[in-house]
Structure 1
């Protein structure tokens, strides 16, 4: 076994309430053997330890992205990037450039477009036909809740005026001709396009995408992620990486239960998740629960609201209460964690009703159910969430002022001033876990912490803050992105804090964000350690191991 490794002279924020700050740590194997002061760390490490002088730099627990889509994050890095495309002309330019640079690619794939970049806020096939008329183009919206196709893609997918709308989704159609416009909303994209794209994607494609995602996560300081949408292809890619030793990232997955018209089919999906949870239980890959997408998104006016949107319209939930409740109860009975995507206040209420129903049906048992996003929730439901012990899983980067204009306009009233109310969750007594929902937002955690602690934009830093009274202190934001996210996926005994006995998952920054949150945007991750193994490594080499002797703790300062 290797000798312990000693890291000294640091400014360690531990995310551990028993000892929030420390100077040094000792790594023994894949775990932390000591966290505390320099002198005691040297004594604990012993004479054979290599020593790294941190030079006063900040050390944090590795971030646990509380809500992510790992494989899709890698796939997104390989397609057309559109989140910062300001208008249709720029979208067309990027789509055409991507296609021209890959003449042999059978399709143009991309993601990230925003509604307010489009004329009238509505995507249409002809807009893309002008850029690429001869190949199918599939562009996922920034929120991942709809897809924009050109005419060639509609033809390839077989979407016509006679294609019925699937349960929980809609094919947008021209009001005069009934022909599809190229906008597939909610489950329409899942049902009509994703099976085709899955078949067209090879295992090698997925392996490359997963490798890109893992590199991106580790380089930005993420050592664990909760994958909120596992399906068979994504799980297979993760299993291949795990078995070949190419999965240094720790992944806890939630199996996506697709909404269909058959309640027995929902229960079959829950049973499949339970089988996978019993099979995949390693330190790198766990299947821990299921996910239900109860509603859509505010940007597309598909989130279910108690009061109408600014234009007077509203949206029905994807999962109505009567269909959702028995499926959630079945997952709860199987010991699975239940995660419910609920963005609008009506959907949040349906989600809480389903969790409460499961408690009545199945009786007392250990539970860590979660609601994802909670972008707008009624105060009484926030209090109820805390009372039921449900985790509020939220994504600060979705509140970035640079992408809030359409969100605010759709709500159109005082509701927009109370969105993304993170302090309300903790004030009510709920556990709050932070994630990014990558690739719907950038995956690096430090910009996520910046938005959380300033309510300013990480994408356009010069924009003024929105609802600054809803910001949280830097230290609290980091706890929500480390310790609380680990707790929320049942990993608190291994991840999320710097404490002796826990896994040696930590990062070193080149700037200190605690005095100035702006440092979160300019800071680089110099070192990422997962299970004691150094991955991203830009630190100086260690000092040689110290010889044993009566004065072995009197270490000479060296380079």
Structure 2
């Protein structure tokens, strides 16, 4: 019987290992009919079969992003967007331009500023005051771990020299003790009582904007690393459900429900109820809520990532600061045990080596208490992993969720992070090679809008450990590089496994959904230094071409 679509004329990456040559992929009714030698492909061709000539390009399973914030990224792109700022002056210029173009907005909101554009990674309120003195302005940093505010916003929030640092954050201060303009981690929540929340319509528009952009990058499914019914994640679940009802959600999504660190174990019942309601809806295969996101620590550039050894000061001397553990180790273990017992997955933010150890200990404790489960718990970011812990992922059955794009020397890392870490931590940045050799199952995500969502850009760095400069020293040494096959598998079959969608996505095999991406030139035929040339030509979801590059 003839198929509806036949892909031929290029190599096929099936989801693991090296790509297959000389094969064709037949598709009908949104699923893969067969993967056959091209010599046999004629039996799948009829009068109405669409022949897709790969012309030497690579056919791969669609990418899946295992750690992304699409709604916040989409919303911010519709607000004051600083992601393209070249330096501090350019960021200020963009703020002034946005304010002038939107005179009726009571608050200027958005984000995307880079810490390395400002001395010490901390922009000052006076920079915004000079261009927007009359309206409150609050802008998230690119990594969403710091906020930049002007005097009007600080005053409206009632923040002054007497305002203490919250337990989970820090206020940058002037010599007088007054807020200087930058608020790290939980200190940004000091604006929550006065800052307007995004409207349901803006959140929905942000989702659709993000989906359009992500599909163009070959992404056919993702795990949203922050959804919720209230608090900072308010409106996100409703936006996905509206998209389902209106038929506009094209991808499949796992929503990771935010664990509120200022609450206790009682919140788990609410998350189970949200999970169960989605399962009962009949549309959980498109959007489900079986994951809980637990943020264990902060980030290294503002010295809030939780480290085994203390940070150093600007003179290279040890401080007393080991970062912030947002959840103490004992509470974390009990939370993970209960989440696992409820049949839910834990998605950890674990960036420093102490946070990674605490998370692995918690997973090990859940295994000991509950026995084996299909939780597929995963740790994201993994900037510093103690050598003794790199091999524990396999033994406790935890997945390493990699943000490959960050594993290279760049300004923010080299000026705000590495000089303040102990030598042992500085040498063990993003130890992907060690994790792979230790038997860890790998998945991949972007953390967009923290950085680009482009999987091919991330894979380039994962394979080379270099950014745009092929002569640069590979971050952490060449032994931390991944093979191209391993990096591509992490972004396809690996993330499908994390998302509990490996039964019908993430691989090219008979019966699987025809969620596919065409990449040209074939990255397996490029020198590693040239991987940045590979681009998505087409994206297919359920056997439908949803994106075709026209340039």
TM-score in terms of structure 2 length: 0.90
2:214 aligned with 1:214: no
Offset from partner CA, 1:161-181 (integer Å, 9 cap, x none)? 45554442334444533x333
Residue matched to 2:226: 229
User: Deviation at 1:265?
Assistant: 4.3
Residue matched to 1:338: 346
Say which SS state the counterpart of residue 303 (structure 2) adopts. Answer: coil
Instruction: After superposing the two structures, state which structure 1 stretch, 300-309 or 359-368, moved more.
Output: 359-368
Say which SS state the counterpart of residue 256 (structure 2) adopts. Answer: strand
Q: How does 1:497-508 map to 2 (within 5 A)?
A: 497-508=507-518
Q: How does 1:133-282 map to 2 (within 5 A)?
A: 133-161=133-161, 163=163, 165-174=165-174, 176-177=176-177, 179-189=178-188, 191-194=189-192, 197=195, 199-232=196-229, 233-260=235-262, 262-276=263-277, 278-279=279-280, 282=284
Residue matched to 2:316: none
Distance 1:153 1:461, change over 3 A: farther
Supply the distance in 2 between the matched residues of 1:288 and 1:520 (Cα, whole angstroms).
Answer: 35
Distance 1:130 1:106, change over 3 A: same
Offset from partner CA, 1:488-522 (integer Å, 9 cap, x none)? 12111111111111110011123122122355423
Distance 1:419 1:18, change over 3 A: closer
Supply the distance in 2 between the matched residues of 1:195 and 1:218 (Cα, whole angstroms).
Answer: 36
Residue matched to 1:116: 116
User: Deviation at 1:196?
Assistant: 5.2
User: Deviation at 1:539?
Assistant: 8.1
1:528 to 532, 539, 547: 539
Residue matched to 2:299: 297
User: Deviation at 1:211?
Assistant: 1.2
Residue matched to 1:428: 438
Say which SS state the counterpart of residue 524 (structure 2) adopts. Answer: coil
Structure 2 unmatched ranges of 5 or more: 230-234, 314-318
Q: How does 1:5-16 map to 2 (within 5 A)?
A: 5-16=5-16
Offset from partner CA, 1:128-162 (integer Å, 9 cap, x none)? 21232122211111221121111122234443445
Distance 1:248 1:23, change over 3 A: same
Q: Is the 8 A contact 1:527 1:539 kept in 2?
A: no
Offset from partner CA, 1:431-471 (integer Å, 9 cap, x none)? 0111111111111111011111111115x778554333322
Supply the distance in 2 between the matched residues of 1:321 and 1:88 (Cα, whole angstroms).
Answer: 39
2:405 aligned with 1:404: no
Say which SS state the counterpart of residue 288 (structure 2) adopts. Answer: strand
Residue matched to 2:489: 479
Supply the distance in 1 between the matched residues of 2:359 and 2:369 (Cα, whole angstroms).
Answer: 15
Q: Is the 8 A contact 2:278 2:284 kept in 1?
A: no
Distance 1:252 1:377, change over 3 A: same
Supply the distance in 2 between the matched residues of 1:37 and 1:180 (Cα, whole angstroms).
Answer: 67
Q: Is the 8 A contact 2:462 2:482 kept in 1?
A: yes
Instruction: After superposing the two structures, state which structure 1 stretch, 281-290 or 40-49, moved more.
Output: 40-49
Supply the distance in 2 between the matched residues of 1:276 and 1:169 (Cα, whole angstroms).
Answer: 34
Q: Is the 8 A contact 1:266 1:327 kept in 2?
A: no
Aligned residues: 535
- The alignment's C-alpha RMSD in Å is 2.5
Residue matched to 1:88: 88
User: Deviation at 1:273?
Assistant: 4.7
Distance 1:120 1:49, change over 3 A: closer
Q: Is the 8 A contact 2:394 2:441 kept in 1?
A: yes
Distance 1:271 1:166, change over 3 A: farther
Say which SS state the counterpart of residue 393 (structure 1) adopts. Answer: strand
Q: Is the 8 A contact 1:147 1:183 kept in 2?
A: yes
2:406 aligned with 1:395: no
Instruction: After superposing the two structures, state which structure 1 stretch, 497-506 or 530-539, moved more.
Output: 530-539
Supply the distance in 2 between the matched residues of 1:183 and 1:86 (Cα, whole angstroms).
Answer: 19
User: Deviation at 1:27?
Assistant: 1.0
Distance 1:196 1:477, change over 3 A: farther
Offset from partner CA, 1:108-128 (integer Å, 9 cap, x none)? 223232333212332332232
Structure 1 unmatched ranges of 5 or more: 541-559
Distance 1:310 1:36, change over 3 A: farther
Distance 1:469 1:360, change over 3 A: closer
Supply the distance in 2 between the matched residues of 1:85 and 1:461 (Cα, whole angstroms).
Answer: 24
Q: Is the 8 A contact 2:161 2:176 kept in 1?
A: no
Supply the distance in 2 between the matched residues of 1:176 and 1:150 (Cα, whole angstroms).
Answer: 17
Instruction: After superposing the two structures, state which structure 1 stretch, 164-173 or 528-537, moved more.
Output: 164-173
Supply the distance in 2 between the matched residues of 1:196 and 1:40 (Cα, whole angstroms).
Answer: 66
